[in-house]
Structure 1
């Protein structure tokens, strides 16, 4: 199955979203583009096999809610919370927008990574970006394979 055109995903969705959040960097751009490829091939909006993950970044509702409850609701993050609120459509829940609203879903994936204490790898380090994805977006028990996913991050870098 093929998904979104990777160049369009990177330059028409990821980059403008990260710039709007004030969290753009070449490394973040390649990390978010590679994450969509690694998680869903930028094609699936529901987790294959019936799991809970939603959208092309395959964020689980519990992870989404944790970002709001334990990070975005605090005054120190009010700027980010306001930016995220401005990305929402008024007729759907936030969780539903992980599927329907690419900008919001990308922004929430960036927030998940932003909460990590480790610095982002170099923007051209596909293996480093893949390992960062595994360590900070997936879990040790999760299905992501950092070695196998290097190709997705290389594709994101090349786009």
Structure 2
């Protein structure tokens, strides 16, 4: 597995910066989401989740149709992260092989639901946000915290 700090520094932070988001809590939420989905038992994962964030094709399509379609500037930014040809042939494949795009889509899942984060958001608070708003099948805050602690130690 890629070290979490490498994912933060080379994928998550640059993607959020590209989207105009400079927020450590947002970085932590996305890193925790990625870790939780990687360690979540199969019966709690979305059965048809694609890529490291486990985003299903139906969630991906709904996000584009119901949220990004109403915000053309944001949609253009997100589309700018996708590859030229592959996105047109199979947009869902981007969730599997394009980490920046998948990270942006994961952030949009939270943004669509108007998740409010503060710089003081601790792991417990972020885990609660993940449990309530991210698409999975019965994942609990403790799943998020457990995966975080496995890679970061008890914090």
> Shared topology, TM-score over 0.5?
yes
Name the residue aligned to 1:22.
20
Paired residues in the alignment total 148
- What is the CA distance between 1:85 and its match in structure 2? 1.0
Distance in 1 (alpha carbons) for counterparts of 2:135 and 2:64: 18
Task: For 1:56 and 1:68, locate their aligned partners in 2 and report how far apart those are by CA, in whole Å.
Answer: 19
Counterpart secondary structure, 1:11: helix
Asked whether 1:101 is paired with 2:98, we answer: yes
Partner of 2:147 in structure 1? 152
Deviation at 1:21, TM superposition (A): 0.9
The whole-number CA distance in structure 1 between the counterparts of 2:153 and 2:106 is: 18
> Deviations 1:83-121 (Å, cap 9, x if unpaired)?
111111123222000001000000000000001134125
| Residue aligning to 1:38 | 36
Deviations 1:31-90 (A, max 9, x none): 00110000014xxxxx9579200111111111111110001011xx22211111111112
1:91-130 matches, cutoff 5 A: 91-92=85-86, 93-120=90-117, 122-130=119-127
Unaligned runs of 5+ in 1: 42-46
Partner Cα separation in structure 1 for residue 96 and residue 144 of structure 2:
22
- 2:57 matches 1:61: yes
Q: Which runs of 5+ in 2 are unaligned?
A: none
Distance in 2 (CA, whole Å) between partners of 1:151 and 1:122 is 21
The 1:153/1:129 distance shift into structure 2, 3 A limit, reads farther
Q: Which structure's residues are more often helix, by fraction?
A: 2
- Could you tell me how far apart the structure 1 residues matched to 2:82 and 2:147 are? 28
RMSD (Å), alpha carbons: 2.5
Residue 90 of structure 1 is aligned with which of 70, 84, 90? Answer: 84
TM-score by length of 1: 0.82
